[in-house]
Amino acid sequence: MREATIGASGLRVSSLGLGTETWGKGTDWDQARAIVHTFKDAGGTLVDVSPGAVAMASSLLDAEDIISVASGVNPEAPMGRRVDCSRRNLISQLDAMLRALGRDHIDLWSVGFWDPHTPAFEVADTLEQVVRQGKVRYAGVRGYQGWQLALTHRPSVVAAITPYHLLHRTPETDLFPAAEYLGVGIIAGAPLAQGVLSGRYQRSFQAKENPQRYAEAHGLLTGSEAVVEALRTAAEGLGISMAIAAAAWVRHQSGVSSILATPRTEEQCAELIAAENVTLPRAIAKALDDVTL
Within 8 A by CB and 6+ apart from 208, the residues are none
Give me the percent of the chain exceeding a pLDDT of 70: 92
Residue 138 CB neighbour total at 10 angstroms: 24
pLDDT given for residue 75 in this prediction: 76
pLDDT at 81 over 90: no
Within 8 A by CB and 6+ apart from 69, the residues are 48, 49, 94, 97, 106, 108, 109, 110
pLDDT digits (tens, 9 = 90+) for 165-222: 999 999 999 999 999 999 999 999 999 998 889 887 655 444 444 444 543 544 544 5
pLDDT given for residue 194 in this prediction: 86
Specify whether the CB–CB gap between 123 and 71 falls below 8 A.
no
pLDDT digits (tens, 9 = 90+) for 25-67: 889 999 999 999 999 999 999 999 999 999 999 999 999 999 9
Distance CA 115, CA 83 (A): 6
DSSP 78: P
pTM of the model: 0.91
DSSP-based helix, strand, coil % in the chain, nearest 5: 45, 20, 35
Distance CA 71, CA 83 (A): 9
pLDDT given for residue 208 in this prediction: 42
What domains does the chain contain, in order, with CATH numbers?
Answer: 3-195+242-279 (3.20.20.100)
Which uninterrupted H or E stretch holds 147? Answer: helix 146-152
pLDDT at 251 over 70: yes
What does the pLDDT average to over 68-95? 90
- pLDDT-derived band at 263, boundaries 50, 70, 90: very high
| Helix, strand or coil, per DSSP, at residue 183 | coil
pLDDT at 85 over 70: yes
Specify whether the CB–CB gap between 179 and 150 falls below 8 A.
no
pLDDT given for residue 76 in this prediction: 73
Beta-bridged to residue 47, according to DSSP, are 18, 67
pLDDT given for residue 214 in this prediction: 45
